[in-house]
Structure 1
């Protein structure tokens, strides 16, 4: 399989039908399965992309070719930042590729490649910032989602993305980390974090 073939497989799977609906005049919305747990989606991604993810993360296969274009970088980010969470749900491995995905997100922003993407695609290009436990990355996430929402006021979904970015920043501001990851990562929760989790905190 070529790098371009992997790029097309990832993007076609993740966004399938989204832009066709937009072209037909349907209001742009986030697909529920993008942000809500689905055992069936997890299975599909595991069956179709786990081997690819392992090749990319462990061996760096396809990375050099794909990191040279906006769509290529986006496909790598989705593979490492999104698909990893589906494939390795409830495992520390879900977060293993986050640093690599964040490096690519920073590359996209530095080169302004993010601005060449559709707003829905940009949403996922910015996710590594939102998933980071570093405050400086959270600030970038809020900045980028704010810019998108202001530039596209008619796309209600982007307002939701902006609101979630702020919620992520507020959690890092309060705890310095995401408490809902503590159990999976073997971290001991503080009393304040336990109360937050008991009250339904988390994403």
Structure 2
């Protein structure tokens, strides 16, 4: 019987399938500046959507769960050569497990997949992938490089996230400036979309900033996310129990 390997299942075609599936509902201008409604399918629970994720990618996640590879092994097997390949890997490791492992199965998300996703995202950041031309001003792609940092319980990672977001927002503010080279047709196109969808951009930025600030406040207070305690078998403090009741 032929042995199934990561190299055999993490092809570029598989990475393309992930991105095509994940971003299939987006029009071009909403790739540059998404609205809250554009990202809602990813961050709200739907049995139908979960089942679709499971049908398409459950076997691949199951193999990763079985093998428990290092992030370096995953990168070596997938050989990502475009920003979208990197994004697909991050979605595979960070978000799809949240769709496929609900309830009592969620523990593996925190103990395995989040660690892998963060390490893959960190490598992408080291290589400067988020600021490559293909994704730098396409917000619906770029913000995925930072999502694994949001899920980390390490304060230093949250601080790095704030810096990464600051750089990202600065790029968009720069795009709105009159000093942008008007002879660059691609930048001019991005700028036109940003001007037309400025209200959506501001709402998206404000929402992201609010979510990240809230998560950091929880870590500042407790040093961890108390809502994960039961799943991870961690006893909650009295203060955490009270906070969980009020949240």
Asked whether the 8 Å contact 1:7–1:66 carries over to 2, the reply is: no
Corresponding position of 1:168: 215
Larger radius of gyration: 2
Distance 2:10 2:232 in 1: 34
Cα offsets for 1:25-63 (capped at 9, x unmatched): 9x6214212212222211111111111123345445864
Corresponding position of 2:240: 193
Distance 1:160 1:114 in 2: 20
Question: Which residue, out of 103, 114, 118, partners 1:98?
Answer: 114
Distance 2:83 2:66 in 1: 22
Corresponding position of 2:151: 131
TM-score (norm. length: structure 2): 0.73
1:108 matched to 2:137? The reply is: no
Asked whether the 8 Å contact 1:84–1:94 carries over to 2, the reply is: yes
Instruction: Rate the CA distance shift 1:70–1:58 in 2: closer, same or farther, 3 A.
Output: farther
The alignment's C-alpha RMSD in Å is: 2.2
Bigger shift: 66-75 or 4-13? 66-75
Cα offsets for 1:67-105 (capped at 9, x unmatched): 454222211110110001111122202222111111111
Corresponding position of 1:52: 60
Bigger shift: 91-100 or 189-198? 91-100
Asked whether the 8 Å contact 1:45–1:83 carries over to 2, the reply is: yes
Count of aligned residue pairs for this structure pair:
198
1:76 matched to 2:89? The reply is: yes
1:146 matched to 2:132? The reply is: no
- Displacement after TM superposition at 1:5 (Å): 1.0
Asked whether the 8 Å contact 2:75–2:120 carries over to 1, the reply is: no
Q: Which 4+ runs in 1 deviate beyond 6 A?
A: none
TM-score (norm. length: structure 1): 0.87
Asked whether the 8 Å contact 1:149–1:162 carries over to 2, the reply is: no
Gaps of 5+ in 1: none
